[in-house]
């Protein structure tokens, strides 16, 4: 017998792996300036802080930290995450907090709990590529909802809910990936209201919440939700460490929490206790606020360097200036094609992600996503110069 | 609107969470002797070894260990796991190794790659409860295949394959959970042959491989597989630490590896780098062999204490004496019912898991699973005495 494609689950057919991660493989070339990823800056990572913390939490907890733990999470982290979340505008009780492997796993578990084959999941158009992939993994059908430069349009959401009767909507309201847009307060209120009116779960994915470089922090959609329709997905990846894979879901409906705990149990039983304990200790010692001040300053400079670089782009280029996060979204003028431009760009030493990959239905070949967090400012300027030449000359 | 059961994915309906984990909640009572879990002994965990190792690996790797990593795994762990696996009889190349969050996640990812709704997955009858739950999570249908006191019957497997045409068979060949049985070599050869003949993937889950207390180590099913039909699931949970959630899959078919990497990507992006690096350092420093000598001696004593305790059980009780692992399986005589006996047992201060939970179709109410790794020998003797009284008197 020969193992072939017919063995694979049908839902895996449209999934060919993250285009971003495939682009990563092109980046081995020395000197490549990558605007393609979504990694935090290495300068924002603190091995010198985390190393002694790791030793300390193991010594403090003893064998318990190496033993099996509860699927519901490491209790001290549930406590400190509850305080952190309440503080950033997600008031919750400890038993509403479920630690996850980044917000990636939070959304995966929510899909596992809710999605039957063929179910529509509404998403922003464009949205995070990984979310599209995760929805398809559960045989769900992602359907994009129209957005403008301020994010999701509530009227379009309501119309899509009436048309598709979904159980679930996925939204990144703050410094959205890929567009960098932030949903204004009135739209957040409207979305919470629509969710309750039609009985739709809103997955509010908010991994960039603390990475604001200007303007005032906005209340979460979850803060306007009185009945529990919003599931909040928090992540410590962008503010402490992505490699530790620690995030937390806030689920206010007890029966939904129970299903998600069961789903987590069959996914990986529980998150590693050590990484949960390190994040707990980091929060408990109050290390986060000062760290955020420092990394925000660095990211603000990087963002400024990137925005300046657009002066060299062809006339008619449009881009969205974000107030935070890690990405700038651009739309090229005329019939410029960001997909076909990628190869000459990589050849000239600069990479990005074509915007088409972020749309549920593809298309939008004139768009691209640029990440500014993973290169120093001088390299950002150099990369924008190279990229502008490629765009101007092709 | 009101959130109710109708929102949940249909496949989640038959899943009510691990009965074992629900029993755990009864165990808060001080002095309870639990034969219910599957935890390694706290005495087999080494926080004093792991704590400095954690600090060391972070200092050695720097920011890279806190940054995003590859879904394919942390390269040093892939290297050292490849050596470990080849050494225990799973010859493989580094690119055939995919680190996972314990073997739990390995099986979850394999199901994600292969199983469409309604697909039958063959399992040993009885089998690991978590496997039944994971299969149902992917809308699969677990079907039990007959076993005797030496494990799965190859003829019964072949008949079931002809009848159900499955893509996947799940087997724990060594010190099986729950029965403790070990599949003889001739059956391993036969199963590898049947898998290749009918083109069926065998998930060989082998978390207890190194916990042998007597007899000789047997070759894995994977070692008889020439075409890659066997996917080997290894775990460091039972030999280093379950709380770190580190295991590894060995996948020899490149297209299947690719699908599993994509599945892993949407589950949690990658395993935490820190826990992968700790296990790598532990293996690389050669700490495992001596550790295994020590923990095997402890477990052998615990097993002996439990086996002695059966002398007090009612005449006609049958049990399987395992050569390793963590469990003893027993069958009560007459019309004794292990489900209804659980409540008086817990009241008298001793807990176990009724065997019925491990059967795909339930039934077998006269069976029970006893774990011996999580109590000291005197408590095991005391617990067996208490349990025998409850069984004799009810």
Per-residue pLDDT, B16: 53
Q: Do B274 and B315 sit in the same domain of this protein?
A: no
Positive or negative, the CA dihedral A297, A299, A305, A307 is negative
Contact B65, B58 (CB under 8 A): yes
What span, in angstroms and rounded, lies between the C-alpha atoms of A233 and B253? 35
What span, in angstroms and rounded, lies between the C-alpha atoms of B125 and B322? 17
Of the residues A263, A284, A305, the one at which a domain ends: A284
What span, in angstroms and rounded, lies between the C-alpha atoms of B354 and B362? 10
Q: Does B244 touch chain A (CB under 8 A)?
A: yes
Q: How far, in whole angstroms, is CA B174 from its chain's centroid? A: 10
Of the residues B284, B300, B318, the one at which a domain ends: B284
Tokens encoding A93:
């009780």
Per-residue pLDDT, B9: 82
Interface confidence, given as ipTM, is: 0.94
Give mean pLDDT, residues B137-151.
Answer: 94
pLDDT at B211 over 70: yes
Q: Do A279 and A322 sit in the same domain of this protein?
A: no
Q: Pick from A269, A270, A291, A376 the residue to mutate for testing the B interface (most B CBs within 10 Å).
A: A269
Q: Assess if residue A348 is contained within a domain.
A: yes
Q: How far, in whole angstroms, is CA B93 from its chain's centroid? A: 24
Per-residue pLDDT, B5: 83
Per-residue pLDDT, B2: 84
Tokens encoding B8:
């949940």
Read off φ and ψ for residue A172, nearest 5 degrees: -110, 95
CA distance B65 to chain A (A): 6
Give mean pLDDT, residues B178-198.
Answer: 98
CA distance A367 to chain B (A): 24
Q: Quick check: B229 and A259 CB within 8 A? A: no
Q: Do A41 and A87 sit in the same domain of this protein?
A: no
Q: Assess if residue A294 is contained within a domain.
A: yes
Q: Do A131 and A247 sit in the same domain of this protein?
A: yes
Q: Assess if residue A274 is contained within a domain.
A: yes
Q: Predicted confidence band at B20 (pLDDT cuts at 50, 70, 90)?
A: low
Task: Count the domains in chain B.
Answer: 2
Q: Do A366 and A380 sit in the same domain of this protein?
A: yes
pLDDT at B239 over 90: yes
Gyration radius (Cα) of chain B, Å: 21
Residues B10, B13, B18, CA angle at the centre, nearest 5°? 135
Q: Predicted confidence band at B250 (pLDDT cuts at 50, 70, 90)?
A: very high
pLDDT, tens only, B85-126: 999 999 999 999 999 999 999 999 999 999 988 999 999 999
Query: B325 — alpha (psi -120 to 50), left (phi > 0) or beta?
Result: left
What span, in angstroms and rounded, lies between the C-alpha atoms of B238 and B279? 13
Q: Domain span at residue B330?
A: 5-46+289-393
Q: Do B354 and B218 sit in the same domain of this protein?
A: no
| Mean pLDDT for chain B overall | 94
Strands (E), A292-389: 318-320, 327-331, 350-351, 353-354, 367-371
- Chain B residues close to A269, C-beta within 8 Å: 101-102, 104, 130, 245
Per-residue pLDDT, B1: 77
Per-residue pLDDT, A22: 64
Per-residue pLDDT, A15: 52
Q: Does A71 touch chain B (CB under 8 A)?
A: yes
CA distances from B320 to B45, B154, B206 (A): 27, 20, 19
Q: Do B74 and B190 sit in the same domain of this protein?
A: yes
What span, in angstroms and rounded, lies between the C-alpha atoms of B256 and B323? 34
SS3 A155: helix
What span, in angstroms and rounded, lies between the C-alpha atoms of A242 and A236? 7
Q: Assess if residue A62 is contained within a domain.
A: no
Positive or negative, the CA dihedral A140, A144, A150, A153 is negative
Q: Assess if residue A154 is contained within a domain.
A: yes
Verify cis geometry, omega within 30 degrees of 0, for the bond prior to A163: no
What span, in angstroms and rounded, lies between the C-alpha atoms of B32 and A130? 45
Q: Assess if residue B41 is contained within a domain.
A: yes
Q: Do B187 and B268 sit in the same domain of this protein?
A: yes
Q: Where are the alpha helices (DSSP H) in A285-352?
A: 288-309, 338-348
Longest pairwise C-alpha distance within chain A = 63
Helix (H) or strand (E) holding B87: helix B75-87
pLDDT at B13 over 90: no
pLDDT at B387 over 80: yes
Positive or negative, the CA dihedral B270, A152, A15, A366 is negative
Low-confidence residues of chain A, pLDDT below 70?
Answer: 11-28
Strands A141-148 and A151-152: antiparallel
Q: Assess if residue B105 is contained within a domain.
A: yes
SS3 B393: helix
Could you say which of A47, A245, A263 has the minimum Cβ distance to residue B268?
A245
The CATH number of the domain holding residue B331 is 3.90.1150.10
The CATH number of the domain holding residue A221 is 3.40.640.10
pLDDT at B21 over 80: no
Q: Pick from B274, B295, B374 the residue to mutate for testing the A interface (most A CBs within 10 Å).
A: B274
Per-residue pLDDT, B12: 66
- Chain A residues close to B203, C-beta within 8 Å: none
CA distances from A267 to A33, B107, B118, B239 (A): 36, 9, 20, 21
Per-residue pLDDT, A1: 77
Of the residues B253, B284, B315, the one at which a domain ends: B284
Half-sphere exposure of B205 (CA within 13 A, CB side): 26
Residue in A101, A53, A89 with CA at minimum distance from that of residue A286: A53
Q: Assess if residue B122 is contained within a domain.
A: yes
Q: Quick check: B256 and A3 CB within 8 A? A: yes
Per-residue pLDDT, B8: 85
Give mean pLDDT, residues B259-276.
Answer: 95
Q: Do A159 and A236 sit in the same domain of this protein?
A: yes
Gyration radius (Cα) of chain A, Å: 21
Q: Does A271 touch chain B (CB under 8 A)?
A: yes
Q: Does A315 touch chain B (CB under 8 A)?
A: no
Q: Do A201 and A233 sit in the same domain of this protein?
A: yes
Give mean pLDDT, residues B199-218.
Answer: 97
Could you say which of A39, A114, A196 has the minimum Cβ distance to residue B8?
A114
Q: Do A81 and A218 sit in the same domain of this protein?
A: yes
Full-model pTM: 0.95
Q: Do A308 and A374 sit in the same domain of this protein?
A: yes
* Helix, strand, coil percent values for chain B (each to nearest 5): 45, 15, 35
Per-residue pLDDT, A157: 98
What span, in angstroms and rounded, lies between the C-alpha atoms of A204 and B240? 37
What span, in angstroms and rounded, lies between the C-alpha atoms of A100 and A251? 12
- Chain A residues close to B62, C-beta within 8 Å: 47
CA distance B66 to chain A (A): 4
């Amino acid at each position: 017998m020969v193992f072939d494609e017919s063995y694979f689950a049908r839902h895996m057919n449209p999934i060919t792996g993250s285009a971003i991660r495939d682009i990563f493989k092109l980046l081995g070339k020395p000197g490549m300036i990558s605007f393609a990823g979504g990694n935090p800056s290495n300068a924002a990572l603190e091995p010198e802080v985390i190393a002694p913390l790791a030793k300390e939490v193991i010594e403090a907890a003893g064998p318990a930290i190496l033993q099996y733990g509860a699927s519901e999470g490491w209790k001290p982290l549930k406590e400190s995450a509850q305080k952190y979340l309440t503080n950033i505008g997600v008031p919750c009780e400890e038993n509403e907090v479920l630690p996850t492997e980044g917000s990636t796993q939070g959304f995966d578990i929510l899909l596992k709990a809710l999605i039957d084959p063929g179910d529509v999941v509404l998403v922003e158009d464009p949205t995070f590529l990984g979310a599209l992939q995760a929805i398809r993994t559960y045989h769900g059908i992602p359907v994009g909802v129209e957005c403008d430069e301020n994010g999701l349009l509530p009227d379009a959401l309501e119309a899509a809910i009436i048309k598709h009767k979904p159980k679930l909507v996925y939204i990144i309201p703050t410094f959205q990936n890929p567009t960098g847009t932030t949903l204004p307060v009135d739209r957040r209120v409207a979305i919470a209201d629509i969710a309750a009116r039609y009985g739709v779960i809103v997955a509010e994915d908010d991994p960039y919440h603390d990475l604001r470089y200007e303007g005032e922090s906005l209340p979460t959609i979850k803060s306007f939700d009185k009945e529990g329709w919003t599931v909040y997905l928090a992540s410590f990846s962008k503010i402490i460490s992505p490699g530790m894979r620690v995030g937390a879901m806030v689920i206010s409906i007890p029966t939904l929490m129970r299903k998600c705990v069961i789903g987590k149990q069959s996914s990986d039983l529980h998150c590693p206790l050590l990484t949960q304990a390190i994040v707990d200790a980091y929060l408990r010692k109050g290390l986060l606020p000062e760290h955020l001040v420092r990394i925000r300053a660095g990211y603000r400079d990087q963002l400024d360097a990137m925005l300046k670089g657009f002066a060299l782009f062809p006339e008619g280029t449009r881009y969205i200036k974000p107030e935070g996060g890690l990405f700038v979204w651009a739309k090229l003028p005329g019939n410029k094609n960001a997909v076909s431009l990628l190869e000459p760009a990589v050849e000239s030493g600069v990479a990005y992600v074509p915007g088409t990959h972020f749309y549920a239905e593809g298309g939008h070949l004139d768009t691209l996503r640029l990440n500014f967090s993973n290169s120093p400012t001088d390299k950002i300027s150099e990369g924008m110069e190279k990229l502008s030449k490629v765009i101007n000359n092709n």
